Amino acid sequence: MIFKRELKRNLKSLIIWSIVLSGLILLTLSIYPQFAEQQKEMTKLLESYPESIKKAFGMNELNMGDLMGFYGVEIYMMTTLLGSIYSAILASNILAKEENEKTIEFLLSKPVTRSQIVTEKLLAVLVNILIFNGISTIASIIGFQFAKDPDVPTDTFSLLIVATILLHLTFGAIAFMLSSLMKKTRNILSISLGIVLAAYFMNVMAGISEDLEFLKYFSPFKYVDAASIINDNELKPLYIFIMAAVILISIFTAYMVYRKKDIAV
């Protein structure tokens, strides 16, 4: 019951976010053929960029004349950042809104436990994130067809998709935990989005300045760095472990807190 209700309540935002991201993916990939044809001119243009900017966005490690290199620089940034923002918005109010909207009394009057409430809402977050990523993946595959000879290594592309999903689940889990800890949805949303943007900013700063390179260890965006995945054709086990640990700890905390939370009914 709760699971289906949450899917229905979040359907509109899922459709809007999916359409926006898919449109951006298709639009960006549609210019790749012209970009590839004018590779020499574009390479000269990119070489004029400050070295710090090229490092920050992986332009120094990826060949943008190559389809996967272009995808890694132009598309991957959108899917990771926008998807993380969507995941944070989705999960940040899914528990707290029942208290905020004064519907928790009705919910708890039903034959459901608090653990069941958390489980079904968590499943709704998971399903929405997976559908969102599925749609963006399909959009990417369609967009690849704009290239005259789309040479897309399936294993590398699959790793990028897995990395993106892990990143979205990480921020979604953190926002979900905050939703169990706090009551005001506006505060939860602000903090959740702040965490996403701060993590992205730390990743950019780590790329720009060698003095700030240590910041990359605090940013999940660095764990799923496109240049590293495309060039090494692997997602480092340590980074998978860290993201998985954050996800599990966040979910466990949400269960423990919500079960004992003083909820006014």
The number of distinct structural domains making up the chain is: 1
Positions in the chain whose pLDDT score sits under 50: 265
User: What gap in Å lies between CA 197 and CA 230, rounded to an integer?
Assistant: 24
- Give the pLDDT score at 45: 62
Global pTM value:
0.89
Q: Is residue 265 part of a domain?
A: no
User: What gap in Å lies between CA 182 and CA 92, rounded to an integer?
Assistant: 10
Q: Is residue 116 part of a domain?
A: yes
User: What gap in Å lies between CA 33 and CA 26, rounded to an integer?
Assistant: 13
Domain span at 215: 2-260
Per-residue pLDDT tens digits for 70-112: 898 889 999 999 999 999 999 998 887 776 666 666 666 677 7
Q: Tell me if residue 98 falls in helix, strand or coil.
A: helix
Q: Is residue 208 part of a domain?
A: yes
**How is 191-254 classified by DSSP, letter by letter?**
HHHHHHHHHHHHHHHHHH-GGGGGGGGG-HHHHT-HHHHHHH-S--HHHHHHHHHHHHHHHHHH
- Give the pLDDT score at 46: 61
Per-residue pLDDT tens digits for 106-118: 666 677 788 888 8
Q: Check: CB of residue 3 under 8 Å from CB of residue 123.
A: yes
Q: Is residue 65 part of a domain?
A: yes
